[in-house]
Amino acid sequence: MRAYAAEFIGTFWLVLGGCGSAVLAAAFPDVGIGLLGVSFAFGLTVLTMAYAIGHISGCHLNPAVSFGLWAAGRFETGKLPGYIASQVAGAIVGAGVLYLIVSGQPGFDGVGGFASNGFGAHSPGGYSMGAALTTEVVMTFMFLIIILGATDKRAPAGLAPIAIGLGLTLIHLISIPVTNTSVNPARSTGPALFAGGAALSQLWMFWVAPIVGALAAGAAQRWLGGGEDR
């Protein structure tokens, strides 16, 4: 239960910190942080939580990460449902707190996109479903390769959170214009529940694509990493 609670808190922070930076600060008049700032915000949520709760739950914060670790033989099947439920719950509560903050602004008249993910007309750059699918599969694949390699027992000790956080930052720098960057089904689910409309109808993509990419990375890492000392 402590691990589940840690995953809840960590995913809550990822959504509140990452999506909150996009909703509240990305285009704030005169001092907006822009796409670069949002990208770093997502990376920083993972980096800070990796040090805060990594020793408790492993700091997955993402159903795709849990599936990828499982595919690589580093996570027990029986723990998957509890981890995923905790991550999704944390993401929903994080989005709910963000909604409470946003709705406190004078003249508030709806959540708009609410940092939700999408393709086609719902893509920031108008990218097609095929482009979005490719982006999410490949970016999640690379994210899991980074995670699995950085947390290998043979990797330099203590530096994994930095590599993983910066990896997520880079992924956002590449893919925000395409899908608003998911690589995380829980992160997509929380905002979509409040944004509604296309965000909900397209949510399936942001479960399927990240999990496919993560499973592929887990399988690849079994061969790439080699040996049993992982």
Residues 44-56 have pLDDT tens digits of: 999 999 999 999 9
What pTM value is reported for the model?
0.93
Q: Identify the sign of the CA torsion 71, 201, 165, 91.
A: negative
Q: Name the stretches of the chain with pLDDT < 70.
A: 28-29, 31, 226-230
Residue in 197, 15, 182, 175 with CA at minimum distance from that of residue 88: 15
The CA-CA-CA angle for residues 119, 171, 46, to 5°, reads 115
Enumerate residues 6+ apart whose C-beta is below 8 A from 175. 135, 136, 139, 181, 183
Query: Measured between alpha carbons, how far is 184 from 230 in angstroms, rounded to an integer?
Result: 24
Q: Which domains does the chain have, with CATH numbers?
A: 2-225 (1.20.1080.10)
Q: What is the pLDDT of residue 115?
A: 94
Q: What is the pLDDT of residue 160?
A: 94
